Amino acid sequence: MPGITEHRPNPEDLLRRIQADERRERRGRLKVFLGYASRVGKSYRMFDEGRRRKARGQDVVVGAVQGEITPDIQDILSSLEMVPMLVEKHGGAAYQVIDLAALFRRHPAVCLIDGLAYFNPPGSRNPERWQDVEELLDRGIGVITAVNVQHIREKQDEVEKIAGKRPSVSVPQAFLLEAEEIEVVDAPPEALIDRTDGVAPDSRRLGELRELALLLAADVVDRQLQDYLDSHGIAARWGAQERILVCLTPRSNAAAMLKSGLRNKRRFHGALLAVYVDQHPLAAEDRRRLDEHLALARQMEAEIHTLQGDDFVDTILGFAREQRITQLFLGHSNRPWTFRLNRNPIERLIDAAEDFDIRLFPHPEAR
Amino acid sequence: MSAERRGRLKIYLGYAAGVGKTYRALEDAQALQQQGVDIVIGYFEPHGRQDTIAKTEGLESIPRRTLAYAGSQFQEMDTAAILERKPAVALVDEFAHTNVPGCERVKRWEDVAALLEAGIDVITTMNVQHLESLNDQVWHVTGVRVRETVPDWVVDEADEVVLVDLPPDALRNRLERGVVYGTEKARRAMENFFVETNLTALREMAIRHTAHEVEEKLAAAPALAPSTPAAGESSPPAGEPPGRKERILICLTGSPSSAMLIRRGKRVADYLQADCLAIHVARNGAGREDVERHMSFARNLRIDARIVEGEDIPRAIVEFAHRERVTQIFMGRSTPPPWWKPFQETVVQQVVRHALDVQITIVAERRRPA
């Protein structure tokens, strides 16, 4: 999951956060219902929320509806105020477009926009509908909208692998990350199949899309948690995600550790990090080995960090805590542990590791 | 007891009281009744929530039974009456509930198992923090030690696990409006368990666990076409050696921290689809009662747990690991040697020295920062 698992606050991150906070104060609140297929019930849940908010006294209007409107949705819509969509003809095709000008004039507290992933006809103010939504938000209008995982740009390679085709319209993942709230709309694939007439969607594909949507939501939530902790100055040593740190040294069994790390990352949908502590100049042979290990780590898409520190153990411990590591992978040396006055680094790490597990890997020559 | 067909189990999984699990289950029930399905409410916990209570309208309820215990009256689900009534579907709220002593079964999930056994489909509700394998993580995050737990295999065997999601802000709004609890209780809840970080972390666990259940079901179902790869990241990684299945061995002692060790080892084994074994090396009869408790806890989680006799604990562990073709040993941290024997090796050190060909995981106790 590139771009969304890194947790280290750096200056750019902080600046981004401050700018986001400033913009957020003026901006309307964005809520996104996230689903994995049409018919999971996103539209119903979205309009139902609009209905409940209106009942609580909020100024709610509907800015966009889409597709076939089921009787239960029609029921809700009849109790809500609508700003009708415009129909624009272009090149023989008719497009339904949000009436931005009318919404700006009406300026409700909350605007419901069903179907976020749509093109506007050529020559429109914005090429895509999510950009229309940005404009509503910029003018202080809150928006509740709905989108499927298929339409999230950064997920479309995976969607194409699952479904065999790639939707032409997309919404950037950053749009989702900027939302104040996302809500997952989940339902078993069987429920969708029951509702279709004749055409039987493939439940395996639906299951895979469902998993993709859930994992995307988990990553967004993880990011929100991290943002919250950072902005409140809370240094948490825990997380809901499995995070594996492989400790690279020239003589360790890096291949086995990285391979197992990758497997754990995939099975837990967690993060894989690799670290090297740069202490003193290495002999040529050790340098060569280490470079091989680092290349392998890159190949396995581990997030690689080189740390400076006088004390190997303290450096690793500090980094592992800061990164909310849950498992630390170490290769054990071939040297015996007994009869030495100074405890070796592995023993010291075991003694000090209170927040994460330590997994010791056999030395390659041991097999 | 032999029914022609086992009932289907559907679990609505949430992350806190008030996210809307029972509401969703009742929506299902209403829809099924409209389709003409014979459905009853086996157990329903209204918590005084008007929206939810309204959803029960028109549904048949099986009256609860009242039991006296320790001078008080308790109401529990009347499992026998539901079995007698034998509907097609029963809605049973609060899957993780522990029955008052005197009931036929200790846990509600065991009552549900009896209904399923009799061919009755069950729709139920639970929160992610009640999953046994997440118990330590939940405690670490929230400071709450959840007492009512459900073994993971019970949830894994459900036919459907459906996430009931709600953003934490919305949940806190509901609390403030007094929808979930009465106001005084709500205020205390907001200050304690319902703080934003707790809710967000629990929510992430619920979403991840649902994804895990979806993935497990996909892995169990036969693939349609060999050309269809599994979902993105979850596809079997290239270059992973086929054949040698991982086997995880958990080393139990009588120490209280063994419970954490068991949960952690089993969780890793489940995610890696590895076999899971546990041993305790008995040197003499000391501490047997604690060990027995841990053994039965492990067996409840479907871990193959055994007691091995031996004088030399590290040697017995390593021999067992070799004999059973174990690939990974899980151990707790050893207590450091006494000051007058600074060079004495700990059990962990000795196992490491003897088992140079096996991966060894030393599980942290994950104490909460005060």
Q: What is the DSSP string of A187-201?
A: --HHHHHHHSSS---
Are A183 and B232 a contacting pair at CB < 8 A? no
pLDDT tens-digit series, residues A134-158: 999 999 999 999 999 999 999 999 9
Among A154, A211, A326, the residue to mutate for chain B (most B Cβ within 10 A) = A211
Question: In this predicted model, which residue has the larger pLDDT, A236 or B165?
Answer: B165
E strands, A198-352, where?
A: 243-247, 271-278, 303-308, 327-331
Nearest to A357 by CA among B151, B237, B261, B271: B261
Are B240 and A263 a contacting pair at CB < 8 A? yes
- Write the residue in A259, A267, A337 that is nearest to B349 by C-beta: A337
Q: What is the mean pLDDT of residues B50-60?
A: 92
Chain B residues within 8 A of A218 when measuring between CB atoms: 204, 207-208, 211
Among B139, B165, B318, the residue to mutate for chain A (most A Cβ within 10 A) = B165
Q: What is the mean pLDDT of residues B270-286?
A: 86
pLDDT at B195 over 50: yes
pTM above 0.80, yes or no: yes
Are B165 and A185 a contacting pair at CB < 8 A? yes
Nearest to A275 by CA among A239, A325, A347, A219: A325
| Alpha carbon distances (Å) from A27 to A12, A34, A70 | 22, 21, 32
Evaluate whether B39 touches B29 at the Cβ level (below 8 Å): yes
Evaluate whether B95 touches B14 at the Cβ level (below 8 Å): no
Nearest to B335 by CA among B368, B292, B365: B365
pLDDT band of residue B229 (cuts 50, 70, 90) is very low
pLDDT tens-digit series, residues B337-368: 666 666 677 888 888 888 878 899 999 887 76
| Alpha carbon distances (Å) from A51 to A35, A62, B172, B221 | 20, 10, 19, 40
Evaluate whether A100 touches A129 at the Cβ level (below 8 Å): no
How high is the pLDDT of residue B98?
95
CA B82 to chain centroid, in Å, comes to 25
Are B200 and A212 a contacting pair at CB < 8 A? no
How high is the pLDDT of residue B166?
95
Residue of B nearest to A185 (CA): B165
Chain A residues within 8 A of B245 when measuring between CB atoms: none
How high is the pLDDT of residue A362?
83
How high is the pLDDT of residue B190?
67
This model of the complex carries an ipTM of: 0.82
Our CA-based measurement puts residue B160 at a distance from the nearest CA of chain A, in whole angstroms, of 7
Structure-block tokens of residue B311: 């004088």
Q: What is the mean pLDDT of residues B72-82?
A: 95
Our CA-based measurement puts residue A247 at a distance from the nearest CA of chain B, in whole angstroms, of 15
| Alpha carbon distances (Å) from B76 to A312, B64, B124 | 58, 6, 15
Question: In this predicted model, which residue has the larger pLDDT, B304 or B190?
Answer: B304
pLDDT tens-digit series, residues B321-330: 999 999 999 9
Q: In this structure, are strands A357-361 and B359-363 parallel, antiparallel, or unpaired?
A: antiparallel
Bridge partners, residue B90, by sequence:
B40, B122
Q: Is the dihedral of CA B134, B138, B140, B143 positive or negative?
A: negative
- Write the residue in A185, A228, A367 that is nearest to B357 by C-beta: A367
Spans of chain A below 70 pLDDT:
1-10, 13, 194-201, 233-239, 333-343, 364-367
Are A357 and B360 a contacting pair at CB < 8 A? no
pLDDT band of residue B249 (cuts 50, 70, 90) is very high
Are B211 and A214 a contacting pair at CB < 8 A? yes
Are B357 and A362 a contacting pair at CB < 8 A? yes
Chain B residues within 8 A of A355 when measuring between CB atoms: 364, 366
Report d(CA A313, CA A317) in Å as an integer.
6
